[in-house]
Structure 1
């Protein structure tokens, strides 16, 4: 790294982290990215390789310091990238099998059912059906990650400002892999598009605008502390939604072993884009709408495409400029300042648009006439940190073969999150691909930009959209802390789960498997199946079962306490703001209560002694299961 100086930002301790790898919170933000998907042939040599790689892995402190210096220099250069500031970063993550080989034992020996641990152990190929990866998108057609041929044990990410630095780093890492009997299963490149396409994906739309900010890393706005300073519309999210072991929404415990702390689950997906096919489809649907006189006569293909995405190509939100694109680089900071509060039925920005499917913001009404779902709380807990980049040459029929319609191009989708099931998988399954999110009659439809084939409801008229984004490979990996990298290089992992009692504060919800939840005001915020939710403290595990029963299990899985609501249709147990723990059915009718209302600020504690209790904000016991042992 050149040209950066170390600074300390008061009140933003995560910027100083030497434990969290640099791409998770800070983001590499480079024009050139290469992912090397690796397979270990010899476990001891793989550990030696990791020990040698470890000093080259970038920390959050290094990347955040460089990015701050780069941004400051960019301001003084009139918005141009400073040529004198260049860096090259590396990060590394491991699949479940990769961790098992390095640690010399099973890192997750008893993953709870329907948990993020189970998702990680199984991998995306096993879960393809529920994620919409079927037909042409099914794993047998993937280039990597399908469990056939060469398995993937690790993902090494290299990111550089300069192509020459990337070439030198790749040469070094290929030689290191060969020396340590590591097979490069697949190489996935990614490069920022040039010229007027810079900052955009291959369909032509500005990308990477809507990433969340993080408490403890990004500076809050003093006048609106739930948002980032200088970036209106960018919400600050608790860091534990992206980094295991840190504070989460509602103080939800991670349930992960100690070795996972300061790490993050990584999703890698190669998403091929049929650019001419997608745009031809938009033109055909516009013709249908014009023939039916369902759109203004001046509506163009760009006009309709903007409504499918939720933005114009420049990044300008349709919510702000519904009639035409009004790009302004000077106002680019405001492209994320979007409100749907005055458009709950999608008259301006359709409910099926990509932006509203992936981030409903302040305009989510789960059913007509229902209340708005507040962003703070459960919606914040569904966010992911995206680090994607395009691959392949842009479509240009007048250029060479590499720019033709059949040339490989698309998006290298990379995201970080602390919970695969509640974040990435939920967004993909229960929001993007679900035609009934949010619930309307007729159905809203799936996301027509990146979702499965769908019929969308456009102002009362059904429009058919086929799928022109194909999954060509997928991997679930874990990006460990720097300390855990050291342990893995020594062939070990720290034992034990999270220490101490597991505490949650209101509002907090445990969902039952298969419950859905889009029909009620409490908000599962999706209408497909939701994971079984649980809080595990070792001797006590509080579980909302699919049969509607809320139970406490001991360390042997035996039921020690039950709400006796089996078969009642219960779908969720919610600790409410007033301190009452209540089991609801799909219609939001209460089925059981702890009768502890009138205690705002109450805490639900799953204790290491086996008891589950509710305490007032000043520590008085007001309810318990009596299961201490």
Structure 2
């Protein structure tokens, strides 16, 4: 892409300034116990969430590097920070509480966020933005893009990228995603017009313009199938206040777990995962997924009626069960958001203005007799309903196993609600669905794992009778419906069709405010930061699928074979342990020993280096992987230096 002189500075319209009614950042209550609320580095949609009724995503392409850098430099002053958004949201929430749940009037804001695809980062940097990109890592997923990973995501058949509206092989490249969100449609329209003018001034083209809006009236807060959405969001350590009597859960939000911030923001503590080895300029950033999911509303409800008739014919459901009863089991909640785990027979909505019920446990329903194992809510949020494999049945703990799989969701519906009597735009052929948006610190370990293992895994959760795929977004196929209620162990296989179709997906990176400045200045060197030696101190756990790379050596814990392997910079296998599908974790113990363990904590393999407290595991720049004593002596190595 050619460089050209930057255009002369043009004053921005006054509407791009802070909107009337916005709460200035300095008005936020200073709470030293919640330091992330004061962050002016992390973009505001990641942790605080824009939480606006009207949203537009402008998918943009660069045509000139210098102009694109100037555009980004001007834009970054308008990007909302966590401090900005957290302060506004707190003021909005407090006023609504004083008004007993009514929507506050006169309190409005318009927010902006920006993320960059790998091609966009490459154009801004003028070369590769990351030097070391091992296979299987989150930066590998970012570089490949979502379309190339369609099999992992389950985007086949009618969801194949060949038919996407954006992000597919037949679509124009996207370099940047500009998110605009506002309380009022007129404010959003003004912001979109201004940002389009800025894009045009700097040679950017709008590849795709994706609108989104909260459904109106009694549908508010629901997605197009009619169910309340985004109930089980995680809380974030150092951003959300924890319950002092139960620090793993948020204060005043029963059932909402407090997750380490590093699961959503790079460079912060994580839930039992290792430093991914990303460049330093990516600190305080997050990986961004944008996904357009079309919903066939009449088809989905017609299927529920058809399958209910089948189940009644088989005598598998109560005689008085209706379509709403079955639909609630496919979702895992009633339309109001009430979990069927608590109210299996009828929808009992929460009082107006109160939080939706997120205090759900599956510990007493491990076989899914009340909340089916295939239900959407249970598939994407297994909570305490998973079993430890190969041992006596018992729930799997969430900390260290599930917390690190969570994503921060910021989705919004698009299109008019289905109601043929309402006129044009409301019929069965009108476009409607959900703009799924998520933030996470690892695309592979979080979003892709959820899609591959949970949503599309026919035997997740693992049981003798395979549960089947997610019954809302998991595609067509059989599911095992629990027949006979809680006291039975019978099941009936029913065949479900697909009524949610992927129409576009993007992977992008949401930089910190400092990283936006560095990218705008061209201060990130092409080729990325050079690889560095990686040193792990005990005690350390290497999770399945983890990759620790120094460039020439890539130590992996293979999630399919349970092997530790070492590959070189060309991904050639140089060393490995024997396959063992029982291996679930690798540990560097405080005695200096590297071991593979199964779920019973039995040792499957050992480096034989016990008796050396203080020893470290080193993935070296020369390609070797070794255990080094506290005195600097090599105790064990793979012999893969080259």
TM normalised by structure 2 equals: 0.87
Which residue in 1 is equivalent to 2:488?
none
Deviation of residue 569 (structure 1)? 5.7
1:74-473 matches, cutoff 5 A: 74-329=96-351, 332-333=354-355, 335-365=357-387, 369-459=392-482, 460-473=491-504
Which residue in 2 is equivalent to 1:592?
605
Q: Which moved more, 1:224-233 or 1:489-498?
A: 489-498
- Find the aligned partners of 1:251 and 1:585 in 2 and give their Cα distance: 18
**8 Å contact from structure 2 (residues 534, 549) kept in 1:** no
- Find the aligned partners of 1:489 and 1:577 in 2 and give their Cα distance: 44
Query: Which whole-Å deviations, capped at 9, do the CAs of 1:314-357 have from their partners, x for residues lacking one?
Result: 00111111111100235843611000000000011011111111
- Find the aligned partners of 1:462 and 1:602 in 2 and give their Cα distance: 55
Q: Which moved more, 1:534-543 or 1:320-329?
A: 534-543
**8 Å contact from structure 1 (residues 251, 504) kept in 2:** no
- Find the aligned partners of 1:51 and 1:202 in 2 and give their Cα distance: 38
- Find the aligned partners of 1:289 and 1:622 in 2 and give their Cα distance: 67
- Find the aligned partners of 2:440 and 2:413 in 1 and give their Cα distance: 21
The unaligned stretches of length 5 or more in structure 2 are 1-18, 483-490
Query: Which whole-Å deviations, capped at 9, do the CAs of 1:494-546 have from their partners, x for residues lacking one?
Result: 653697854476673433xxxxxxxxxxxxxxxxxxx4x22235676432357
Which residue in 2 is equivalent to 1:526?
none
- Find the aligned partners of 2:424 and 2:537 in 1 and give their Cα distance: 57
Which residue in 1 is equivalent to 2:636?
625
**8 Å contact from structure 2 (residues 42, 513) kept in 1:** yes
Query: Which whole-Å deviations, capped at 9, do the CAs of 1:264-294 have from their partners, x for residues lacking one?
Result: 1100000000000000000110111111221
> Cα–Cα, structure 1 residues 566 and 608, in superposed 2: closer, same or farther, change >3 Å?
closer
**Equivalent of 2:512 in 478, 481, 487:** 481
Query: Which whole-Å deviations, capped at 9, do the CAs of 1:418-450 have from their partners, x for residues lacking one?
Result: 111110011011110111112223311000111
- Find the aligned partners of 1:195 and 1:598 in 2 and give their Cα distance: 67
Which residue in 2 is equivalent to 1:518?
none
The unaligned stretches of length 5 or more in structure 1 are 512-530
Structure 1 counterpart SS, 2:366: coil
- Find the aligned partners of 1:621 and 1:331 in 2 and give their Cα distance: 62
- Find the aligned partners of 2:533 and 2:104 in 1 and give their Cα distance: 48
Which residue in 1 is equivalent to 2:547?
534
Query: Which whole-Å deviations, capped at 9, do the CAs of 1:360-380 have from their partners, x for residues lacking one?
Result: 101111559533211000211
- Find the aligned partners of 1:339 and 1:295 in 2 and give their Cα distance: 23
Which residue in 2 is equivalent to 1:515?
none
1:38-49 matches, cutoff 5 A: 38-49=60-71
**8 Å contact from structure 1 (residues 251, 505) kept in 2:** no
Q: Which moved more, 1:549-558 or 1:338-347?
A: 549-558
Deviation of residue 595 (structure 1)? 5.9
Which residue in 2 is equivalent to 1:520?
none
Structure 1 counterpart SS, 2:543: strand
> Cα–Cα, structure 1 residues 339 and 570, in superposed 2: closer, same or farther, change >3 Å?
closer
Which residue in 1 is equivalent to 2:587?
575
- Find the aligned partners of 1:602 and 1:248 in 2 and give their Cα distance: 23
Deviation of residue 397 (structure 1)? 2.0
Structure 2 counterpart SS, 1:259: helix
- Find the aligned partners of 1:612 and 1:365 in 2 and give their Cα distance: 35
Question: RMSD across aligned C-alpha pairs, in angstroms?
Answer: 2.9
**8 Å contact from structure 1 (residues 611, 624) kept in 2:** no
**Equivalent of 2:522 in 491, 494, 497:** 491
- Find the aligned partners of 2:167 and 2:22 in 1 and give their Cα distance: 39
Deviation of residue 10 (structure 1)? 2.0
> Cα–Cα, structure 1 residues 251 and 47, in superposed 2: closer, same or farther, change >3 Å?
same
